Amino acid sequence: MKGWNLIPLAQARRIARDCAEKLPRHTEMVDFQQALGRITAENIINPADNPEFDRTTVDGYALIAGDTVPASTDAPVRLEVIGEVRMGHQAVLRVQPGQAVRVPTGGILPAGADSVIMQEYTRRSADGGLLIEQPVAPGQNIIWRGDDTPAGAVVIPAGRRIGIPDIGVLASCGLTRVRVVKRLVATIITTGDEVVAPGMVPEPGQIRDVNSFTLSALAEAAGCETRLADRIPDSCTGLLDTLQRAVAESDLILVSGGSSVGDRDFTTAAITAISDVELLFHGVSLKPGKPTLLARRENTLIFGVPGHTVAAMTVFQEIVEPTLAAWQGMTELPCRIAVRAKLGSPLRPDRERDEIFRVRLETNGNDLTAWPLPAKSGLITVMTRAHGMVYTQAGQPELRVGDEVAVQVLPDRLSGPFRGVLQ
């Protein structure tokens, strides 16, 4: 295409990731209650056995399993109850052969005992003895010290986005402070003579700013602290001024609009005019998303993304997000899950670029039907109507009604090793 030297999406992603991985990554300690969604900066090590004592898992009696071997309903074994363990307290009694100690669920196992029988499988004799009507196996109804996690074990690996279960594990291990990756500071710059604030009534020819808000929300979801720069008209010097200020205080800059090669596309010129800047690529063989560029200036990455909202979001998800994941040292990448569906209307893949179609899914008995949404540049509500995306290769033959396609379901926030398998 005229004026372009497009690179494949995979190459763009690789260049961006390789670059980001080498950039410095700062860390900080945060309280575990503020750690949800943050990324661990190191392996989190369990400081002590968890649990720290042998623990019962049922209400019942702690005893020696060997004592119960001959027990049956007809010939119960009789044990002497020598006392009880109080919840939350040390067990002071020692169980000897022929003895049992009353224990609560979660209580400490008294010394000498090797198992616990549930209360409902016992009864008391007239003289206060404990009658056991079935044998118990050694270890039954006990969690041994360190059974959950021994001291020194990694409870949360480095590079994980901390989820709710991780918060629970931090609490249980007494890890009230945790080292996480410091948030990257992202500045969002929206350009365009026609763009006005959402609160304004647009004059004819004007439209409201969307990208400032979608891109900053995406950047925040990907782990950044974001700042919105003032909207900038299409002018090289105005944009360069804003960029120079943003470079000084940002790790990441996202400029939307003006990154194409038209008369009014000043973004590339402004970005390449920053002193000591290096242009890593300009133009990706992706539809939507062609006018995407990446530059680096010292430890700041600068992405130019398309002005069209759907294209900007697509580029964020396909290129910027994996770059941020690499930068933050994420070892567990979000898994994208795809489902199989039959096309409800034909798809005509672009001849020269890989294309991403947004589709709506409909259930059809036990099948799914995928309806491609209109892809006209500039449409916005297509974003909110889409249930997923269909990826096609450049030059791939037209897909017909009824053809099976893999639909990558949105949002793609699942972790694990499934990638590929579910495609």
Residue 399 and residue 397: Cα distance in Å, rounded? 6
User: According to the binding rule CB under 8 A, does residue 93 interact with a copy of itself?
Assistant: no
CB 19 within 8 A of CB 301: yes
Q: Choose the binding region for a copy of itself from 69-77, 243-251, 389-397, 415-423 (rule: CB under 8 A).
A: 415-423
Judged by CB under 8 A, the residue of 55, 183, 287, 296 near a copy of itself is 55
Q: Are strands 44-45 and 154-156 parallel, antiparallel or unpaired?
A: antiparallel
Chain centroid to CA 3: how far?
A: 38
CB of 111 to a copy of itself, least distance (A): 11
Q: Going by DSSP bridges, is the β-strand pair 252-256/184-190 parallel, antiparallel, or unpaired?
A: parallel
Site for a copy of itself in 213-272 (CB under 8 A): 213-214, 217-218, 221, 234, 260, 262-264
Interacting positions 264-283 with a copy of itself (CB under 8 A)? 264
Among 309, 314, 392, 408, binds a copy of itself (CB under 8 A): 309
300 or 314, CB closer to a copy of itself?
Answer: 314
Binds a copy of itself (CB under 8 A): choice among 387, 399, 405, 408: 387
Binding mask 342-361 for a copy of itself (x = CB under 8 A): -------------------x
For residue 129, what are its two tokens? 């003895």
Listed residue (229, 257, 232, 233) closest to 245, CA to CA: 229
For a copy of itself, the binding residue among 174, 346, 395, 397 (CB under 8 A) is 174
Candidate residues 57, 235, 272, 396; the one interacting with a copy of itself per rule CB under 8 A: 57
- CA-nearest of 62, 68, 106 to 81 is 62
- SS3 state of residue 258: coil
Q: What count of other Cβ atoms lies within 10 Å of the Cβ of residue 309?
A: 23
Pairing status of strand 388-392 against strand 354-364: antiparallel
Establish if 24 lies at the interface with a copy of itself (CB under 8 A): no
Interface residues for a copy of itself in 111-170 (CB under 8 A)? 119-120, 143, 147-149, 155-156, 163-170
Which of 19, 112 has the CB closer to a copy of itself? Answer: 112
Of 11, 176, 237, 393, which one interacts with a copy of itself (CB under 8 A)?
176
Q: Does residue 216 contact residue 252 with C-beta atoms inside 8 Å?
A: no
Task: Report whether 201 contacts 303 (CB < 8 A).
Answer: no
Q: Beta partners for 408?
A: 338, 389
Question: Is residue 73 near a copy of itself by the rule CB under 8 A?
Answer: no
Closest separation in Å from C-beta 218 to a copy of itself: 6
Which region among 123-131, 273-281, 295-303, 372-380 touches a copy of itself (by CB under 8 A)?
372-380
Total interface residues for a copy of itself by CB under 8 A: 109
Output DSSP code: residue 127.
T
Contact call for residues 186 and 216 (beta carbons, < 8 A): yes
Among 236, 279, 333, 379, binds a copy of itself (CB under 8 A): 379
Measured between alpha carbons, how far is 306 from 255 in angstroms, rounded to an integer?
Answer: 8
DSSP state letter for 317: I
42, 194, 225, 403: which one binds a copy of itself (CB under 8 A): 194
Identified binder of a copy of itself from the candidate list 75, 201, 248, 298, rule CB under 8 A = 201
